[in-house]
């Protein structure tokens, strides 16, 4: 089988890798991490952050979408993962050009947070809609189904917290790292009696680490997110999949995030986004509760980070983390693989 894939995010590629464990005789074409084959574009050339970045690179993405449509002529099926800003317009072009090719959309856009009209577009352009959050299925009239959450397949460690280890995650994008790392360095100085481990994406080369992070001699370095989080007693984490990983592992953390002012204004004032932590979003829909604190923009200060480390209710965190895992029920990788392979 030839499968056209559009997986722009690092997290999507981790999920894709897990799916492939349950398949055989599949050739990937399209956009994905080069470790999985020979992509038309490697995801490292596709990284963007926020509305401003999207606008600046629109022409580039239009050209890529056109190339993907041409490439789809030889595909048996199409798998679009996350990245709705690119993948929904791509789905429209693909369905128009190839009405009989099955288009599967896995990891649905956050229509429950903003732009609900995307749900109608997905139902129009796609054949199967595979959700990873139980509550999001109700936002669709047809085609959507809950297949489980991929992290429940991918997390193979248990919390074994060492009271001497603190983990730090500054993100994977230059703008995130530049804003958070100086603050993390100061927090690290205040916790000088602890082992401070800076978690860096496993795909980063030594050259890229040096370029993005600069002098990080204050920290031990790890490129294994889950193992490090399982050993840490607490973590300071930039928003993203890692916050949900930490929640499911059972490691207490605080989410810290500094966005570009225009992106933050659009998100809070126009899109009315009130939460950005996945665990908090999931639990708020499940039972109107939250798991962790979110420090955003000007709230990301040395004092606030330290206060959260010392004052977090660890027993409550453990209880809510178990509720979260129970609500998500099971992993999704094998189910998605079976859907892809089905004739």
4: confidence class by pLDDT, cuts 50, 70, 90:
very high
pLDDT digits (tens, 9 = 90+) for 233-253: 999 999 878 999 999 999 999
Based on the fold, state whether residues 178 and 61 are members of the same structural domain.
Answer: no
What percent of the chain is modeled with pLDDT above 70?
92
Q: Specify whether the CB–CB gap between 11 and 82 falls below 8 A.
A: yes
Kind and range of the H or E element at 247? helix 241-249
Question: In this structure, what token pair is assigned to residue 145?
Answer: 């189904």
CB atoms within 10 A of CB 42: 14
319 shares a domain with 188? yes
| 3-class secondary structure, 4 | strand
Exposed/middle/buried for residue 142 (C-beta within 10 Å: 0-12, 13-18, 19+): exposed
Q: Are residues 132 and 201 in the same domain?
A: no
CATH number for the domain spanning 273: value is 3.40.50.2000
3-state secondary structure of 271: coil
**C-beta separation of 295 from 305 below 8 A:** yes
Q: Give me the pLDDT at residue 38, please.
A: 93
240 falls within a domain: yes
Reported as a single tens digit per residue, the pLDDT across 56-80 is 667 888 899 999 999 999 999 999 9
Residue 339 lies in a domain: no
What six digits make up the tokens of 316?
A: 């409550």
Residue 305's contacts (CB-CB under 8 Å, 6 or more residues apart) are: 183, 187, 236, 254, 256, 295
Q: Is residue 153 part of a domain?
A: no
List the structure tokens of 340. 């892809």
Count of structural domains within the chain: 2
pLDDT computed for residue 159 by the predictor: 84
Lowest mean pLDDT among 45-49, 169-173, 228-232, 327-331: 45-49
Calpha distance 261→258 (Å, rounded): 8
pLDDT in tens, 128-159: 999 999 999 999 999 999 999 999 999 989 88
**Co-location of 14 and 125 in the same domain:** yes
Judge whether residue 324 has pLDDT over 90. yes
Average pLDDT of span 203-229: 93
Nearest to 170 by CA among 240, 232, 115, 90: 240
Whether residues 166 and 198 share a domain: the answer is yes
Per-position DSSP letters for 311-335, written without gaps between them: H--HHHHHHHHHHHHHHH-S--HHH
Give yes or no: residues 308 and 193 share one domain: yes
What's the distance, CA 107 to chain centroid?
10
For residue 289, pLDDT over 90 is answered with yes
Q: Are 139 and 189 within one domain? A: no
Of the pLDDT bands very low, low, confident and very high (cuts 50, 70, 90), residue 10 is confident
Q: Do 203 and 264 share a domain, yes or no?
A: yes
The answer for residues whose C-beta is within 8 angstroms of residue 38's C-beta and 6 or more apart is none
Average pLDDT, the chain: 91
Helices (H), 10-158: 10-20, 50-56, 58-71, 84-97, 117-125, 151-154
Closest to 160 measured CA to CA, from 219, 94, 109, 233: 233
The residue range of the domain holding 221 is: 162-328
The pLDDT of residue 114: 84
Structure tokens that stand for 231 in this block: 């050993």
Please answer whether residues 148 and 330 qualify as being in contact, where contact means their C-beta atoms are separated by less than 8 angstroms: yes
Cα-trace Rg, the chain:
20
On whether both 232 and 314 belong to a single domain, the answer is yes
Q: How many CA atoms lie within 13 A of 316 on its CB side?
A: 9
Percent of the chain with pLDDT over 90: 76
The pLDDT score that the predictor gives to residue 267 is: 61
Position 241 scores a pLDDT of 85
State the average pLDDT over residues 21-29.
Answer: 95
Task: Look at residue 75 in the predicted model and tell me its pLDDT.
Answer: 98
Query: Are 167 and 121 contained in the same domain?
Result: no
Same domain, 171 and 127: no
What pLDDT is stored for residue 161 in this prediction? Answer: 79
18 and 96 assigned to the same domain: yes
| 175-208 pLDDT tens trace | 899 999 999 999 999 999 999 999 998 878 899 9
């Amino acid at each position: 089988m030839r499968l056209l894939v559009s997986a722009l995010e690092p997290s999507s590629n981790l999920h894709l890798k897990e799916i492939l464990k349950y398949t055989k005789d599949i050739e990937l074409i399209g956009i994905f991490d080069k470790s999985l084959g020979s992509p038309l574009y490697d995801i490292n050339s596709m990284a963007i952050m926020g509305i401003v970045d999207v606008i600046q690179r629109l022409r580039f993405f239009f050209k890529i979408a056109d190339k993907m449509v041409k490439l789809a002529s030889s595909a048996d099926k199409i798998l679009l993962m996350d990245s709705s800003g690119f993948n929904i317009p791509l789905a429209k072009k693909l369905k128009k050009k190839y009405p009989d090719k099955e288009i599967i959309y896995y990891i649905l856009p956050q229509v429950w947070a903003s732009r609900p009209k995307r749900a109608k577009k997905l139902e129009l352009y796609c054949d199967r809609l595979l959700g990873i959050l139980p509550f999001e299925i109700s936002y669709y009239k047809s085609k959507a189904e809950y297949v489980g959450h991929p992290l429940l397949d991918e997390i193979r460690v248990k919390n074994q917290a060492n009271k001497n280890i603190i983990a730090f995650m500054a993100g994977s994008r230059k703008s995130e790292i530049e804003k958070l790392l100086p603050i993390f360095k100061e927090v690290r100085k205040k916790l000088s009696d602890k082992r401070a481990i800076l978690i860096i994406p496993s795909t980063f080369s030594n050259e890229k680490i040096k370029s993005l992070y600069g002098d990080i001699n204050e920290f031990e370095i790890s490129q294994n997110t889950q193992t490090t989080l399982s050993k840490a007693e607490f973590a300071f984490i930039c928003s993203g999949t890692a916050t949900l990983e930490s929640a499911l592992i059972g490691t207490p953390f605080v989410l810290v995030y500094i966005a570009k002012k225009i992106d933050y204004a659009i998100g809070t004032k126009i899109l009315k986004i009130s939460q950005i932590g996945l665990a908090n979003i999931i639990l708020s829909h499940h039972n109107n509760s939250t798991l962790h604190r979110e420090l955003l923009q000007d709230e990301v200060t040395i004092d606030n980070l330290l206060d959260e480390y010392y004052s977090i209710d660890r027993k409550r965190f453990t209880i809510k983390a178990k509720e979260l895992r129970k609500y998500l029920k099971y992993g999704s990788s094998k189910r998605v693989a079976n859907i892809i392979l089905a004739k």
